[in-house]
Structure 1
Amino acid sequence: MNLTQDKSFSPDKQTAFAARYEAQKIAFGPVVFQCVRYAWKRGILEALAKSAESGRSIEELAETGQWTSYALKTVLETCLSAGVVRLSEGNYLLDKAGYCVLSDSITQINLNFVHDVCYQGLFDLDISLDQEKPIGLKTLGDWPTLYQGMAELPEPAKTSWFAFDHHYSDTSFPEILPDVFATAPRRIMDVGANTGKFSLAALEYNAGVELFLVDLPQQLEVAKSKLAAAGLSARSSLHPVDMLLPDAPFPAGMDVVWMSQFLSCFSEPVIAGILQRASDALAPHGQLLIMDTFWDRQRYDIAAYCLINTSPYFTAMASGNSKIYQSGDYIRLGEQAGLKLLTVRDSIGYCHSLLRFVKE
């Protein structure tokens, strides 16, 4: 992995003219986003895919009655400028980026997440950054942070949020469980348990382990029902904790404390407090395992790009002062909490890394 402090997403020899073109793509980015989304959601891209070899003219598409000629011209010309479609002898054909929009799950999940959860709220990103408060959250509901309102998110934001969250985490759980149980833990605490997906997987993986789920009360209610439905309530216990209250302790005597895609929900000072409480909760020689998406530990720029540009969501919509961090941030804060980094494992699932700490 390239962990250097020097990083660029631009070609090594980019001309001034090419850079100016890239700048215009930024300026018109929201316009392109909405037109491409319209072409996808309203079935225009699908119609072109069905005529992959010959393509379709505006007139042919309009004859179906699904779209007006005006709408088709406006949207497809923007899609053309974005490389989503191409124009050949008067017919529009799906281009490679268009096939990604039409068939790639990551692209579709990201598009839905940005549109349904973030788009309107990002209009106030400047105020959110200045005040370090999620000002844009008002477009979804009236809560201090998104996490208090998670169970009440309106549709389609709720579905799109969970699809986004689960896509980036679910691909990692199956292969990470051997790492979790490498030290034969009997008591595992899942901090930031959310809907209980990891806890359920861990309880099913090992019949002798006991899980302690720590999160907001609203989240634990969802986890409680899922644990009960799976018949796993007897080996699990729920511990409601508001992470923003620094004096709220975690259950003690843990062999392993687990955190997955959790700390990025908080500011650095709050993370420092959470890690200190996690350290205090560990039994002698206990370990803290943090699995998260660090943009500086990605093999491919596409993953780093997606992760970096998720941070403004945390600013405008989620908490106002959290982000996708670099791995060094967690390592530094863990050491301040009396934890020693043992290993780092990369390339888990789509874009995760696992930091393993031991209590010194």
Structure 2
Amino acid sequence: MTNFYAKDKRSAIDAKHHAQVIAHGPIVFQVARLLRDKGILKVIENHKTGINLAGIVEQTKVPEYGTRVLLEAGLGMEMVTVDEDGKYYLAKTGYFILHDPLTNVNMNFVQDICYKGLFHLEEAIDTGKPAGLKELGSWNTVYEGLSQLQPQQQKSWFEYDHFFSDIAFPLVLKHIYKPENHIKKLLEIGGNTGKWALASTKFDQDVRITIVDLPGQAAMARKNIENLGLTERVDFYPANVLDESVQFPPGYDAVWMSQFLDCFSEDEIISIMERCGQALNGEGAIYILEAFWDNQRFETAAFCIQQLSIYFTAIANGNSQMYDSRVFKKAIDRAGFDIVEEISGIGLSHTLLKCKKRK
């Protein structure tokens, strides 16, 4: 358990300033995004000796009034600095807004997927339903609509999702496909666009994989895999895993779930785990890759994961979250599994759990 939150670290003055930043949160976010997207930060960065308002307007073609109010707000946000001659310079925060991949993935995801829907957070909290999802489409969960999102929304969603798994996958492949695990048939629950299946077939020339996912998602994965000519080693089982009557195909050496079970409530996790157990051979194992906020080495990582939970509440499904590992492990235990191996610190934020059915 991280000790980031064991005590209040701020002075009263610092805390009051932080409270004002929070109170102006939507304004702060949109100003930062527009300073980035309108090219204002880039123009300032390109002028190491500073550039005045007129020069920025000339190069960005943003109206003077709009440029001025954005820049003045950016001063208080520590995005830029200004000297006595009215020349602007890029500050460290502005640099990260402009260049940091994690920051940009987060910002695009919040803008294109979360921003409008979060207005309905209170309703979601009160009802346990994804009240903000209607801002994206008329589905029961966001996963039913991923294949139908607008192109920019779809791009931001998948770039966010893949940003973390793309870093983690090369690090966990060697753990999953160790010779002593004897994995020749693997069932992947929640195959997304097929990235794990593709990585697996490349890493292990003998493994065969079946992807279980919603019909729309399974179709997307099939298309990607067909384009690479690998369908002879990857099968598909379109199904809604939320339907407890859906049984997974049997006879597998392992079940793999990456960034998947955080999409479900504790009771739903238990149901999915129990059905995964029925799909396994006698000595088979379930491998779970998740990001737990309490397992993070850095406070910034914990913060990002905690905030992502609110996306699940307001938009994705209304009843899941990025879990405290202790809550998640209780669900695994209630499903009748023991954690026989745990590896933390994978990639940016992940933990790998190997689970076996209790005898």
Taking structure 2 as the reference length, the TM-score comes to 0.95
Q: Distance in 2 between matches of 1:321 and 1:7?
A: 26
* Equivalent of residue 155 in structure 1, options 151, 158, 162: 151
RMSD of Structure 2 on Structure 1 (CA)? 1.4
Q: Distance in 2 between matches of 1:240 and 1:328?
A: 31
Greater shift in the superposed pair: 35-44 or 59-68: 59-68
Runs of 4+ in 1 over 3 A off after TM superposition: none
Asked whether 1:56 is paired with 2:51, we answer yes
- Report the counterpart of residue 69 of structure 1 in structure 2: 64
- Report the counterpart of residue 22 of structure 2 in structure 1: 26
Would the aligned equivalents of 1:279 and 1:337 in 2 still touch at CA under 8 Å?
no
Q: Distance in 2 between matches of 1:280 and 1:331?
A: 20
Identity %: 38
Asked whether 1:311 is paired with 2:306, we answer no
How far residue 278 of structure 1 moved from its aligned partner, in angstroms, is 1.1
How many residues are paired up? Answer: 355
Gap change, CA 1:64 and 1:218, over 3 Å in 2: closer
Gap change, CA 1:146 and 1:343, over 3 Å in 2: same
- Report the counterpart of residue 8 of structure 1 in structure 2: 5
Q: Distance in 2 between matches of 1:65 and 1:23?
A: 33
**CA shift digits 1:117-156 (9 cap, x unpaired):** 1101101111111111111111111111111111000132
Q: Distance in 1 between matches of 2:225 and 2:52?
A: 54
**CA shift digits 1:99-121 (9 cap, x unpaired):** 11111111111111101111011
Gap change, CA 1:237 and 1:65, over 3 Å in 2: closer
Gap change, CA 1:212 and 1:72, over 3 Å in 2: same
Taking structure 1 as the reference length, the TM-score comes to 0.95
User: In structure 2, the residue corresponding to 1:37 is in which secondary structure?
Assistant: helix
Asked whether 1:199 is paired with 2:194, we answer no
- Report the counterpart of residue 353 of structure 1 in structure 2: 351
- Report the counterpart of residue 85 of structure 1 in structure 2: 80
- Report the counterpart of residue 324 of structure 1 in structure 2: 322
User: In structure 2, the residue corresponding to 1:258 is in which secondary structure?
Assistant: strand
Asked whether 1:301 is paired with 2:299, we answer yes
- Report the counterpart of residue 132 of structure 2 in structure 1: 136
Greater shift in the superposed pair: 169-178 or 59-68: 59-68
Gaps of 5+ in 2: none
User: In structure 1, the residue corresponding to 2:322 is in which secondary structure?
Assistant: coil
Letter in 1 for 2:186: I
- Report the counterpart of residue 250 of structure 1 in structure 2: 248
How far residue 283 of structure 1 moved from its aligned partner, in angstroms, is 1.1
- Report the counterpart of residue 208 of structure 2 in structure 1: 210
Q: Distance in 1 between matches of 2:314 and 2:38?
A: 28
How far residue 33 of structure 1 moved from its aligned partner, in angstroms, is 0.7
- Report the counterpart of residue 268 of structure 2 in structure 1: 270
Q: Distance in 2 between matches of 1:87 and 1:50?
A: 15
How far residue 69 of structure 1 moved from its aligned partner, in angstroms, is 2.2
Would the aligned equivalents of 1:188 and 1:257 in 2 still touch at CA under 8 Å?
yes
Asked whether 1:41 is paired with 2:37, we answer yes
Q: Distance in 2 between matches of 1:289 and 1:149?
A: 27
- Report the counterpart of residue 104 of structure 1 in structure 2: 100
Q: Distance in 1 between matches of 2:333 and 2:56?
A: 61
How far residue 30 of structure 1 moved from its aligned partner, in angstroms, is 0.8
Q: Distance in 2 between matches of 1:260 and 1:329?
A: 18
User: In structure 1, the residue corresponding to 2:312 is in which secondary structure?
Assistant: helix
Would the aligned equivalents of 1:284 and 1:359 in 2 still touch at CA under 8 Å?
no
